[in-house]
Amino acid sequence: MSVELGHFALILAFSLALAQAFFGLAGATTHRAHWMAAARSAVIGQLVFVVFAFGCLAAAFLRNDFSVLYVAGNSNTELPAFYRVAAVWGAHEGSLLLWLMVLVIWSAAVGVFNRGMSTEFISKVLGVLGLVSGGFALFIIATSNPFERLLPAALQGRDLNPLLQDPALAAHPPMLYTGYVGLAVPFACAVAALIEGKLDANWARWVKPWTIVAWLFLTLGIALGSFWAYYELGWGGWWFWDPVENASFMPWLMATALIHSLSVTEKRGLFKSWTILLAIFGFSLSLLGTFLVRSGVLISVHAFASDPSRGLFILIFLALCIGGALTLYAWRAPRLQSNAGFHIISRESFLLFNNVLLVVAASLILLGTLYPLFIDALNLGKISVGPPYFAVVFLIPMLPLLFLVGIGMHASWKQAKLAAMRKPLLIALGVAALFAVTITLLIYGRMSVLKFVGQLAGAWVILSSLYQPITRWRAGQRVPPGILGMCVAHLGLGVFVLGVTTVESYKIEKDLSLGTGQTVTVGHYDFNWVDTHQVTGPNYDAIEATVRITHDGQEVTVLHPQKRVYHVQTSPMTEAGIDAHWQRDLLVSMGDDLGNGVWSVRVQYKPLVRFIWLGAVIMAIGGFIGLLDRRYRTVKQTAEQTVQVSDPVSVAARS
């Protein structure tokens, strides 16, 4: 019964979304206060019904209701309760419901926390969000209903894919969705601003915290996915330039550029077109990602097996969203003029380069991701674009960007007075170069241009980020959260770069055969294959190996890699044995039983690999600190700002 209630709630939510869209947009354009109030009520109503629907689905999982087709396809009585909840978003239909729920939570938040912006503006934002959530609700109801019944009910479910039975992976979709679905808010704000024909610093100041929160969760979500792939997929890889990974990374690049562009619009009323277009393309890439994952055009461990009609629906939806927004932009662009200028060496110019380089990187990744699909659609053959393409194409814009970051952080608005900064920055560069030489030659003993430049870039960004907080603290000043957040986030970037460059330059991966009692040396560590034995888990059986690792005779650790076979889905799964340490990870993964007590094994030495995810977490913390800045919490005492920004006097007065 509750399953049908859930279904009904979903349909109600769809109607409320349409109401929200209509009353929001029409109410704002015709200035009817009660219509705009209706839009705000509609969004709360949508929240209630979508959460209720989600709750009904979760309840069906928890009580093992195998008369629901989706539950039967993704759960099992042997599945631990925690994973039965996570299984709600384990496949296509349920994950779309999660998508919708996250969107509706964001919309409700906009409906509640909107101090400082005019009622008309918020109404328009809610209207646009209503269109998006209405489209998704329709998609779910029409093509991907999670509440479909299976009659007669199955006696037992097919079980959740064992790869997904993991805490990190349970958290990965909610975090990721909070991130890139959250980009719908700046998108809706951009569209609302275009409808109003007005974009000012106040708008930018209001939109920025929403963008930072979405960006923050997206950073954590991507990092979580990468970390999970590293330890769970068993083979030590942390990024594969898989099309679905790219689909989450491109919105991240756009969101990063958007945050920086919003700074410029907030402080100086410039870069309005950049900001609007970045907001539009950021969310468009999120929608594109959703299309790629669910339409069946992609071959990936992520790709859900879907039918083409779903793909077609999303594609049309995508075309409507992007097409509509861009048409609106083309129509309204003349209104978004600004007359302020800036010197060629100024914060604005650094941020312009930042935007250009990030957009170039995202476009090249998009090209590599979509090219095989185009070729296949035109029946010109089946090709794939290998990871080396992405690595090269990403590195070339990013290396100059990293060097510019170190300087741009300290540039002032309008005209940077870098003469005062020259000495500290040169010292930082020198120290970074010394560090790079030490790492490449003394510690690891192998040097190349790329290895050196990578270490240099990472160290440079870290040192440059520390400069402002340290000088301010030494002068006895407080560091405002806005500046501290920026420095911490860039510090995180530097840590990330150090991690990536060290691990990719100096990792060691060896496939070998090991028999009982044999020892092999990899990267100055001795791996002794002691024995193998059978073990049993809650819903699996496994062969577990004992591997003793020593270094110069001293025991470092004992690892227990496993080869598991889950009871329901009988495909084998590798659990790597990992010795984690901030300096290096040691991994042992079991391959195949080669007979005669010998196993094929992959042994890996990964220096500084944990810095990759540490860097991402530090970036997210930096974003969070930046949110605490007081300027986002001040209530606007003055009446709504109706000054057109093409008035240079007011721009100069505000900057």
Partner 1 sequence: MTPRRRRMMFVALILLAVGGAVALALTAFKQNILYYYDPSAVIAGKAPTGRTFRLGGMVENGSVKRIPGQLDMQFDITDYAHEITVLYSGVLPDLFREGQGVIVRGKLLAAVNGKQQFVAEEVLAKHDEKYMPPEVAASLKKAHEARRVTQTVQTAPVSNEAQTLTAAGPTAN
Query: Binding residues for partner 1, per CB under 8 A?
Result: 161, 234-235, 296, 299-301, 303-305, 341, 344, 352, 356-357, 360, 363-364, 367-368, 371, 381-386, 388-389, 392-393, 396-397, 511-513, 515, 571-574, 589, 591-592, 594-596, 598, 600-602
Name the residue nearer to partner 1 (CB basis): 2 or 528: 528
Name the residue nearer to partner 1 (CB basis): 121 or 274: 274
Name the residue nearer to partner 1 (CB basis): 37 or 356: 356
Residues 424, 463: Cα–Cα separation, whole Å = 10
Which of helix, strand or coil describes residue 157?
coil
Tell me the closest approach of the beta carbon of residue 351 to partner 1, in angstroms.
12
Tell me the closest approach of the beta carbon of residue 311 to partner 1, in angstroms.
13
Q: What angle do CA 454, 456, 458 make, to 5 degrees?
A: 70
Q: Which two tokens stand for residue 200?
A: 């000012």
Residues 183, 241: Cα–Cα separation, whole Å = 22
Could you count the other beta carbons within 10 Å of the beta carbon of residue 479?
Answer: 16
Tell me the closest approach of the beta carbon of residue 102 to partner 1, in angstroms.
24
Residues 132, 286: Cα–Cα separation, whole Å = 12
Name the residue nearer to partner 1 (CB basis): 62 or 385: 385
Name the residue nearer to partner 1 (CB basis): 8 or 240: 240
> Can you say how many angstroms the Cα of residue 532 is from the centroid of all Cα atoms in its chain?
39
Tell me the closest approach of the beta carbon of residue 190 to partner 1, in angstroms.
21
Half-sphere exposure (CA, 13 Å, Cβ side) for 454? 19
Tell me the closest approach of the beta carbon of residue 606 to partner 1, in angstroms.
17
Q: What angle do CA 111, 115, 120 make, to 5 degrees?
A: 65
Strands (DSSP E) along 571-612, which ranges?
572-575, 577-579, 584-595, 598-607
CA distances 249 to 243, 266, 365, Å, are 10, 26, 9
CA distances 211 to 195, 205, 262, Å, are 20, 11, 9
CA distances 571 to 146, 303, 564, 590, Å, are 26, 18, 9, 15
Q: Which two tokens stand for residue 133?
A: 């959530």
The two beta strands, 562-566 and 572-575, are antiparallel
Name the residue nearer to partner 1 (CB basis): 156 or 384: 384
Residues 106, 112: Cα–Cα separation, whole Å = 10
Name the residue nearer to partner 1 (CB basis): 152 or 595: 595
Tell me the closest approach of the beta carbon of residue 426 to partner 1, in angstroms.
25
Tell me the closest approach of the beta carbon of residue 560 to partner 1, in angstroms.
18
Residues 441, 448: Cα–Cα separation, whole Å = 10
Supply the DSSP symbol for 259: H
Q: Which two tokens stand for residue 282?
A: 């950021």
Tell me the closest approach of the beta carbon of residue 536 to partner 1, in angstroms.
19
Name the residue nearer to partner 1 (CB basis): 232 or 629: 232
- Phi-psi map region of 57: left, alpha, beta (phi>0 left; psi -120 to 50 alpha): alpha
**Cβ-defined contacts of 390-399 (< 8 Å, 24+):** 390/241, 390/246, 390/365, 391/241, 393/361, 393/364, 393/365, 393/368, 394/361, 394/364, 394/365, 397/357, 397/358, 397/360, 397/361, 397/364, 398/357, 398/361, 399/453, 399/457
Name the residue nearer to partner 1 (CB basis): 384 or 471: 384
Name the residue nearer to partner 1 (CB basis): 107 or 143: 143
Tell me the closest approach of the beta carbon of residue 603 to partner 1, in angstroms.
10
HEC per residue, 108-123: HHHHHCCCCCCHHHHH
Name the residue nearer to partner 1 (CB basis): 308 or 323: 308
Tell me the closest approach of the beta carbon of residue 645 to partner 1, in angstroms.
17
Residues 11, 152: Cα–Cα separation, whole Å = 25
Name the residue nearer to partner 1 (CB basis): 131 or 547: 547
Instruction: List the beta bridge partners of residue 512.
Output: 601
- Amino acid at residue number 476: G
Tell whether omega for the bond before 162 is within 30 degrees of 0, i.e. cis. no
Q: What is the residue whose two structure tokens read 């330039």?
A: 241
8 Å CB contact between 41 and 17 = no
Tell me the closest approach of the beta carbon of residue 379 to partner 1, in angstroms.
11
Q: Which two tokens stand for residue 217?
A: 């969760």
Tell me the closest approach of the beta carbon of residue 591 to partner 1, in angstroms.
3
Tell me the closest approach of the beta carbon of residue 339 to partner 1, in angstroms.
8
Residues 6+ apart with CB under 8 A from 420: none
Tell me the closest approach of the beta carbon of residue 367 to partner 1, in angstroms.
6
Name the residue nearer to partner 1 (CB basis): 168 or 512: 512
Name the residue nearer to partner 1 (CB basis): 240 or 444: 240
